[in-house]
Amino acid sequence: MMSAITVRNLSDETHRALKARAAAHQRSTEAEVRAILDAAVLPADRPRLGTLLAGIGQQVGADLDISREQIDRGPLNLS
């Protein structure tokens, strides 16, 4: 189940700015708000699944020669 929130009393200026920012990122205003909230609350240095799995492999002695490209691609736009 996905949670939902309602933001009341949002100023017209803020709403217009959100719409403009969403258009610049080619996504809906709702998707833009989700992206802003995710960026605000999720730590940028949180470990990724691949990093965790590679660490487990190293602990058990697996010799994996894996090089990873560090590119921040941002959220996927499916619209």
Determine contact, residues 19/28, Cβ cutoff 8 Å. Answer: no
In whole angstroms, what is the distance from residue 76 CA to residue 25 CA?
11
Domain count, the chain: 1
Tens of pLDDT, residues 2-39: 899 999 999 999 999 999 999 999 999 999 999 999 88
In a domain, 52, yes or no: yes
Residue 77's closest CA among 35, 49, 37, 38? 35
Structure tokens at 63: 């010799």
Q: How confident is the model at residue 63 (pLDDT cuts 50, 70, 90)?
A: low
Determine contact, residues 32/40, Cβ cutoff 8 Å. Answer: no
What number is the average pLDDT over the span 44-55? Answer: 80
Instruction: Tell me what the pLDDT averaged over the chain comes to.
Output: 85
- Looking up residue 40, the CATH number of its domain turns out to be 1.10.1220.10
In a domain, 1, yes or no: no
Determine contact, residues 48/41, Cβ cutoff 8 Å. Answer: no
